[in-house]
């Protein structure tokens, strides 16, 4: 059994756990597969981080992946082509002004998009318009407020708070994961089911220590250093102390916890 | 399928989900069963909240349940007798001075004990002494620092912090769950595997809303009001605001998250 095996995993997913990136992708995606012939909208595909998994897990479905940024789409196209996947079409589009007819898609898939949007509820309403009645929407988001670790460190929480506040200042919500249930329901979807996807990391899972604690989460927080200092949110010494404390959780006796949330719901008939 | 069905559950466990208490108990216990003829020490059984499940899940094992408090043992005995279970023997004992010969037990089980102890590592060392080489130890603990919710509320975190500080003042650690991996390893056990058991509650899971968010977690925090005010940890208005905010998360659009941790490890041969 794989080191990073997650309790409750589809055993088939395990065969795809080639590296840490795949382990995390599978934690989020293992239970998403669309039937043959279905047309699926991926809204906010970015550089295609989820697109290859989506296309691979639903080889007989057609995926339309949109993003507002042309540069991201170029990167996503290259990624999908490099993976030899032919069931994805890319199109530049704003989620608030989708260039599709009403009820065009059998299913909608959204991952790490709502956290960046000033009006997530309106985005869900737009996505609902282009979805066929009876079709499903799948929404996956993280929640930085779900982070905790050992050894504990107030400085680390202060550093994380900088990222959360910067994202809020940009109109987003880095803690949106926990809100998926009320959001998706308020947007008028039925049969909303939310499941948390917790990433638990200790030194018995070395690929997650390196791939998630160090290179994903801590690197992301470290990446806002300049912006946080420029906005005078924190003293540089305190920020650096927080980053050191986060790296400290990746040591032999450290533990790191983070939770993603996945919502699946239906558009009423 | 049951409303409170937890992803990855043993389907057999589902048949026992008669009420919220059972749902939570099963989340923690479904994967613990001891073989026929084995002798199991339950250390710190309290009023027997876990004992009946332990005995029921391992009907052919013999359980020795100990607690330092005579009054708790009396309640535990009554509970086990009322459940018609005959495979439990009770004995009053201090975990730091266990009245058993070295290597007496095939397995050791500990639930919600270490969080109350000033020297959890020493307790694990004492438990290791009475365990046979090759036997397993199972440790389950909560972590109040794993709590987050929607709507968010700083006052609610302040109220929770009172409980954490009072428990610390009494020598305990209410956030010990995340530390199980390093603790159990440092105590000299092998093959330590920790799995988080997250309780996710939204209004599609009404029994958990009532049974966990309201009647378990919030009631517990509410219960320290007098002690917190007496210790001048918080203003009464702020505490009450926090409690209202916690009850608010049990409303139709609220969400509540809490995580327990379960460690299983072996005593080296």
pLDDT higher than 80, residue B132:
yes
Task: Check CB contact under 8 Å for A196 and B192.
Answer: no
pLDDT at site A23: 76
Complex prediction ipTM: 0.91
pLDDT higher than 60, residue B63:
yes
User: Predicted confidence band at B25 (pLDDT cuts at 50, 70, 90)?
Assistant: confident
Looking at the complex, report in whole angstroms how far the Cα of residue B50 sits from the nearest Cα belonging to chain A.
22
Task: Check CB contact under 8 Å for A193 and B204.
Answer: yes
Task: Check CB contact under 8 Å for B152 and A145.
Answer: yes
| Residue B30 backbone dihedrals phi, psi, to 5 degrees | -55, -30
pTM of the model: 0.91
Tell me the chain B residues in contact with residue A187 when contact means C-beta distances shorter than 8 Å: none
Q: Kindly report which listed range (A3-7, B129-133, B181-185, B188-192) carries the lowest average pLDDT score.
A: A3-7
pLDDT at site A3: 31
User: Predicted confidence band at A6 (pLDDT cuts at 50, 70, 90)?
Assistant: very low
User: Predicted confidence band at B18 (pLDDT cuts at 50, 70, 90)?
Assistant: very low
Tens digit of each residue's pLDDT (9 = 90 or more) over B155-171: 999 999 999 999 999 99
Tens digit of each residue's pLDDT (9 = 90 or more) over B191-238: 999 999 999 999 999 999 999 999 999 999 999 999 999 999 999 999
Q: What value does the mean pLDDT of chain B take?
A: 92
Chain B CB within 8 Å of residue A44 CB: no
Average confidence (pLDDT) over B103-118:
97
Task: Check CB contact under 8 Å for A255 and B179.
Answer: yes
User: Predicted confidence band at A21 (pLDDT cuts at 50, 70, 90)?
Assistant: low
Average confidence (pLDDT) over A158-187:
98
Chain B CB within 8 Å of residue A150 CB: yes
User: Predicted confidence band at B6 (pLDDT cuts at 50, 70, 90)?
Assistant: very low
Tens digit of each residue's pLDDT (9 = 90 or more) over B246-269: 999 999 999 999 999 999 999 999
């Amino acid at each position: 059994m794989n080191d990073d095996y997650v309790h409750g995993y589809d055993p088939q997913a395990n065969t795809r756990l080639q590296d840490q990136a795949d382990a995390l992708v599978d934690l989020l995606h293992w239970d998403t597969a669309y039937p043959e012939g279905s047309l699926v909208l991926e809204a906010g595909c970015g550089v295609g981080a989820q697109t290859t998994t989506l296309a691979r897990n639903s080889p007989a479905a057609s995926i339309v992946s949109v993003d507002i940024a042309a540069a991201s789409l170029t990167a996503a196209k290259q990624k999908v082509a490099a993976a030899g996947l032919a069931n994805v079409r890319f199109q530049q589009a704003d989620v608030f002004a989708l260039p599709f007819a009403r009820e065009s898609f059998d299913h909608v898939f959204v991952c790490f998009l709502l956290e960046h949007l000033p009006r997530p509820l309106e985005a869900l309403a737009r996505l609902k318009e282009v979805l066929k009645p009876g079709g499903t929407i799948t929404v996956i988001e993280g929640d930085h407020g779900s982070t905790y670790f050992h050894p504990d460190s107030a400085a680390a929480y202060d550093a994380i708070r900088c990222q959360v506040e910067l994202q809020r200042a940009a109109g987003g919500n880095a803690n949106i994961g926990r809100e998926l249930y009320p959001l998706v329901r308020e947007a008028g979807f039925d049969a909303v089911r939310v499941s948390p996807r917790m990433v638990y990391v200790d030194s018995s899972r070395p690929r997650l220590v390196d791939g998630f604690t160090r290179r994903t989460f801590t690197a992301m927080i470290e990446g806002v250093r300049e912006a946080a200092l420029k906005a005078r949110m924190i003293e540089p010494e305190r920020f650096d102390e927080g980053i050191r404390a986060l790296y400290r959780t990746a040591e032999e006796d450290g533990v790191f916890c983070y939770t993603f949330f996945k919502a699946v719901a239906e558009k009423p008939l």
